[in-house]
């Protein structure tokens, strides 16, 4: 994917698909509307973060830039895989945040959350029922936050 020029990627602006989740508790039924891609992008702009989703076949890249400094804050790369017995799977290969995020008022977890929201929404819009993220034990603090047992 690194050898492909950026200008050959298809840029996705927004999603028109809207869905609703129905949850039931003992007292009443509540309906929650899932955020659309355009909702996520508008919310990130309110935090001075410009998000871009680019695709090339099954591959995708999400980039985050600061609207204040115009510098890249982070990026994520992945692929939509199709398995004959499991359907479509959203697979995240990497997510990286730059040192530019250290001096920001927005936490790095906020930037990562926006990148993750775009990734999950894109996978959902593509029909993925499963998402995969490899959790590497970089440090005990962060590994504990992403390890599910």
What CATH number is attached to the domain comprising 141? 3.40.630.30
pLDDT digit string (tens) for 15-42?
A: 333 334 444 445 556 667 888 999 999 9
CA distance 12 to 60: 10
**Do the domain assignments include residue 97?**
yes
Q: In the predicted model, is pLDDT for residue 45 greater than 50?
A: yes
**Do the domain assignments include residue 9?**
no
Q: In the predicted model, is pLDDT for residue 9 greater than 70?
A: no
pTM to 2 decimal places: 0.70
**Do the domain assignments include residue 29?**
yes
Other beta carbons less than 10 A from residue 145's beta carbon:
10
**Do the domain assignments include residue 13?**
no
Q: In the predicted model, is pLDDT for residue 12 greater than 50?
A: no
Domain that holds residue 95: 20-146
For the chain, what is the domain count?
A: 1
**Do the domain assignments include residue 11?**
no
Predicted confidence band of residue 62 (pLDDT cuts 50, 70, 90): very high
């Amino acid at each position: 994917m690194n050898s492909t020029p950026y200008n050959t990627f298809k840029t996705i602006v927004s999603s028109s698909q809207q869905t609703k989740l129905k949850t039931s508790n003992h007292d009443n039924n509540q309906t929650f509307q899932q955020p659309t891609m355009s909702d996520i992008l508008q919310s990130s702009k309110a935090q001075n973060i410009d998000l871009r989703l680019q695709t090339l076949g099954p591959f995708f890249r999400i980039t985050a830039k600061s609207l204040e400094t115009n510098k890249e804050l982070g990026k994520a790369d992945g692929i939509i895989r199709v398995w004959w017995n499991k359907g479509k799977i959203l697979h995240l290969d990497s997510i990286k945040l730059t040192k530019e995020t250290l001096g920001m008022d927005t936490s790095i977890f906020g930037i990562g959350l926006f990148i993750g929201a775009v990734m999950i929404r894109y996978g959902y819009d593509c029909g993925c029922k499963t998402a995969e993220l490899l959790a590497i034990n970089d440090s005990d603090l962060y590994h504990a936050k992403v390890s599910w047992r």
